[in-house]
Structure 1
Amino acid sequence: MKKKLQGEQGIAARESRSRLMIVFFTVAIMVAIWAAVATQIHLNRVRQAESEEADAVAKVRAYEQALARQVELFDAQLQALQHEWQEGPAMFAQTVAELRKGSLRHYEISVAVIDLEGRMVFLDAPGSTVPAKPLSAVGRDYFDYFIQAPSRSNQLFIGELVASRLSGRMVTPFARPLRDENGHLSGVLALVVYPEYLVRLGGFIDLEEADRLILLDRNGQVVTSTHPELFAPGSHLSGAAKPREGQSKGVMLVDDQVMAWKSLRDYPFTIVLQASNSADRRHSREIERSYLLFAGLPLLGMLAFVALLLRDLGQRGQALRKLARSELLAASVVNAMAEGVIRTDGAGIILDVNAAASTILGIEREFLIGLSAVSDDWLVIKPDGGECLGADLPASLVLRTGKPQKDITLGFVRPDGSRVWLNTSARPLAAEVGGGVLMSFSDVTRVMDSVLEASLGSAVVQAMAQAVVVTDRSGCIVRINPAFEELYGYTRREAVGRPAGFYRADRHDREFYRRMWSSLAERGHWEGEVWNRHRNGVALLVWAAISVVRDEAGQVAHYVALYQDITEKKRTEEEMWFGANHDVLTQLPNRRLFNDRLDKALAVAERGAEKVGLLFIDLDHFKPVNDTYGHAVGDGLLVQVAGRLTALVRGSDTVARLAGDEFVILLTGVVTIDDVRRVADGVVAALAQPFEVEATTLEISASVGVVLFPDHGHNLDALVRAADRAMYQAKAAGRNRYVMAETGS
């Protein structure tokens, strides 16, 4: 009796200690969970801020590149028009008209020539009426800049934003000086651009609708923006929204909004981007709410669980006293099993558990014994996310039907809020051993998490706008998304199992792919432009980003490739470049491209001790053709001249139209002077033959000046001057001939 009393007193003492431990661990777990949630929310906001700043800087950099290309195009037109003005106003006006039909056809740009007194002696302004009395440019900074220092070099000047005296709208002038034959300043040439064309370049970058892109001039004055209702041209940014003084670039947070800026190195512009990031912010806040939700639900379940434990301590004490009678059975059967094992009585009350069950469930053995295994108080979920009530638990099904339940997968939420996936089986116990249910279960959390993660990853890939290809380590395709099917025209059935390169366009050599695979092996990533092919045979230029996915052992498991079609974007850039570097009428290289090729040819020849030939060609009697038959016939004649000249040279040589009826031929890889003489003879003979233009027979000839590098000069300017002098000597000698420049001329 005394032993029995001591045993009951021991049980009571253990129950008291259990209450204290329950309260202590409950508080500790709650504090730990909320501390983890707070830390995760803080880290999430830090990552979000870093992502927003990086995105803003990338957008500013992309717009900077687009703006620089546009300014270069405007400058190329100015340089071409500088030379055309020397041919006279009529030829200059004709060239402007050609540009209107060509590279300037998408722009509402005014072209002006200002003399030294500030009068606009030439003005071409589409959409506006030009007044009879010339407008004055006196007081405009782009005019004063060159007038106040006439010796300034031939450089581009971008003026401040001003109101046009013709249309009243705000404009930005681009200007270069005009000089006479002696190199003295004779006037100023200006392209007057409406600044809204500059902000349209933002269409080449991925701007959000609420992103605010602002372009400032050298004085911090707004030139243009994507939101003119907020940032009017000519205004200034105020307060914290201004870029920091003395810093050419930067990024900062202003009123919970990321602002990035950068000043262009070569041009007087500063780009400012006030990024909205609203969608990313909302997504981040949704993630934070999910953290709070998933932290709160387990805590509520834990409190309910604790209440249940405290209420049922009496039942657990009774079960503990009965535990002594079944100790031998528990030691021989339950503790010998590797899986978690729980034994209940006929009412579902837990009588015994083994160590594995306690570890897997995260609940001490003493706490489990005496609880109901078929209660609704357990937080159990199905693989589809639905809740599994007590009546649907395996033990309940066995007690209700008397039939075993095998391999049922359920998710059990532990008291600390973590979830463990269990593969559970249950079978009825014979009446001889007391009846009830024997349950066994194993932890399959890693397997289930991998399955769920794969399902989630598949859903993300399927929803991506970029084409996605996943291959195995050998390069065979194992997965594609709908965007891939749309981009390349192959269905999943047709693509899966084939080598990833089956849609290549075969426009790259082996060295290209060797460098690609070398980058993947060394850095685990490669990206760049790649030519691939649609199923219908059409070539596609895509931006490809390929990454290596490795397994836990560090070995290559998969390759993931993302493709984005940039064919149209590339075509637009190439058309813009061609328009800036070629003559609109003849499609020959213009002066700018010719100068570039001549500079490169001289550099190559100088390194290899080679010679370069230059033929300066001026058509004889071309002006009477224009005056007699009109510009349409004259243009047709120039096109045929270009064709005959092109037919005389090799593919490595260059035929260019410099201005009006002036052409030039650049010959590379020249061995002797006789090589150049043969081409010069061919030019004179070819252009002396009659031309048929619009049913009219025309006869002209050509005066050609011939020079050789390095015999007649060592740089572009010296060679061009020598060729020009030799051409005029040919004219003076009676035309229809070529003259070789004198050595040292």
Structure 2
Amino acid sequence: MSLKVLVVDNHPMILKLLANFLEKEGHEVMTASDGLAALSVLEVYTPDIVFVDLVMPNIGGDKLCRIIRSIPRFADLFIVILSAIAAEDDVDYQKIGANACIAKSSIKAIQKHVLDVIHHLANHSLSSLEPVANLEDVQYRTITRELLSSKNHFEAIINNMSEAVFELTPEGTIIFVNLAALHLCSLTEEKLLATNLVALFAEDDRQNISSLLAHPERLPQLLEDNPPTLFNGKHVSLHFLELRQDDQPTIILIAKDISERHEAEQVLLANETRFRELFNNMSSGVAVYEAKDLDASDFIFVDFNQAAERIEKIRKDQVIGRSLLEVFPGAREFGLLAVLQRVWQTGRPEHHPLSLYTDNRLRGWRENYLYKLPSGEVVAIFEDVTARKQAENNLAIESAMNGAVARISRMIISSDSLKDISSALLEELLVLTGSKHGIIDLVDTKTNKLLAMAFSQKIGELCAVQEENGTFVHSPHGLINWVLENKTSLLSNSPLTDYRVQGNSLGPESPACLLVVPALFNNELLGIIAVADNPRNYEKRNLDTVEQFASLFALAAQKQQAQDHIAHLAHHDPLTGLINRHLFPDRLAQAMILSQRHRKKIALLYVDLDKFKQINDAHGHLAGDAVLKEIAARLQGLLRDSDTVARMGGDEFVVILHDIGSKTAIKNVAKKIIDTIAEPILFHETHLMVMASVGISIYPDDDKQIDSLLQKADRAMYQAKKANTSGYIFYEG
């Protein structure tokens, strides 16, 4: 039975292999590399079954499943999760709308379980499917869980932001939203994802939003003065930012609901006359002026309410009858005198925007609304917004901080390189803390040196950063060394005299002020971040900012360590440390290429241990493991650096000898291998003895194909084993 199949996976090799396999089985196959591409395919294609990876860019698999289930014509579509994290206990594929789940492992295992699902679907026997297929072939679940925990951590940061966050494609298609965005739009995630941003706005604002998206060179851009309106009637301020990841641009939109403020401003303007009549009952400061002369060179106070007395810290009787410039000598520089003159001359009300007033007595932020009465007097309604200005500054800092955290978090989630993350992180930190210089280091536990992942020139000079084999390194000293030893953050606005320097500062060119923070993960010191030379002294909030970014850097470093560990485990034998059967074909292929280039032969020696089973039976598997580790060490010590030794499984090893000139040279190596292996191995005061049989094939004489060459060496080894001489035999066709 031929089925229509859609395969969605961001791994191009899995996508290609699975598509080719299903097509050979007689099925019609369409593919997509991410959730957004899959939705485009589903607009014109109706499959019988969909295989979906979970972790993908541009809409992940879990969100894709929910979107598909929200489309009526796909209500009965059979969806299968195909993912490496399917073995995790908290992955509930049914909750996201999937019908079955297959854990990723080897491609053969995947193919087997894919056919099994298709067979059950064709035969209407779905009830007999396993809850999660292929679990027996999944490994390293603890590491996977740690990576998922890191991903969930960063998603939690974004979802706890008060501002609505949208990630868009360059065309404006929504590919990510946080919880605040769902609340702002009053829509579910399934309704928002894959929707074009323009469709969320009222008709009058769509052209402006479309024009902005069509010109990314204008970004970043803030729309706040004339706030656009959403389809649900909410007025919002919009902050558009461009984000580039591996030359793949996306747009980050941070939106904030300002409906209440907007409506309040409109009400204030609409009811200006009423507020004039309520002069004495207003909580805002109110001053009434009349022109001093026909030229209005100055203005005389006619009235002054109680709120004005409180705000300006002066009594009414000290003001009435006196001129503006006499009572408030800074009014000309403040701009109020010019506004009074214009309102008096034109009769049109004006808003004197938020400005800083200062004289020898007063200092504070004021916002004024001015209009002319029919009597010719000018009224100024004003507010002391010093506290609001400070709050706005703090909010701007917090918003910038949240935006920076979101950008760095997305880089970490997207598995950008640690160097790129460090460069972006340092750039953000210098702006947020107002610092001129900075450095981000990774601790090298083997050498106790610091690996400089990103640094500015002056700090690099002060720390004596040097390049070694393409890596920038330096030794910790001074206050940096103190932080490393104590695992404690440091804020110093006088580094040269700081008691913690202990006579070892950064030198005569030490910075004027310094912040140094350790990057800790589960109390393990992974790195250090330092910024220096703020034009003003550093404050506690600057330290808090650096500490938050140090946590991000520690998470990025820990994630890289986990990824490196996974990569090593995937290609190396955990017992002996040798390359395993999965990496061996790649090493042999490289050897063949070099052989062709240099016109040299290579030899393949298939080594099998004799009497190994007896050691396991007599002394246990710990003894067998000790023997295998010792044999691996002896083989590595026997061979040249250019040669390769791999453990193929059990007690079988394969050796690749490069640049072989003659069979005599191969014989000599084979004899050394046999003799070396035959030497006794001490285990718990017991001498264990094993022998070896070696089968040899030669490239290109015996074969030019990897599998065939290995099989022929294996066949020769069995001939040597049957000869029962613990010797070696060359393959003979």
TM-score by length of 1: 0.43
**Greater RCO (Cα-Cα under 8 Å, separation 6 or more):** 1
Bigger-Rg structure (1/2): 1
TM-score by length of 2: 0.44
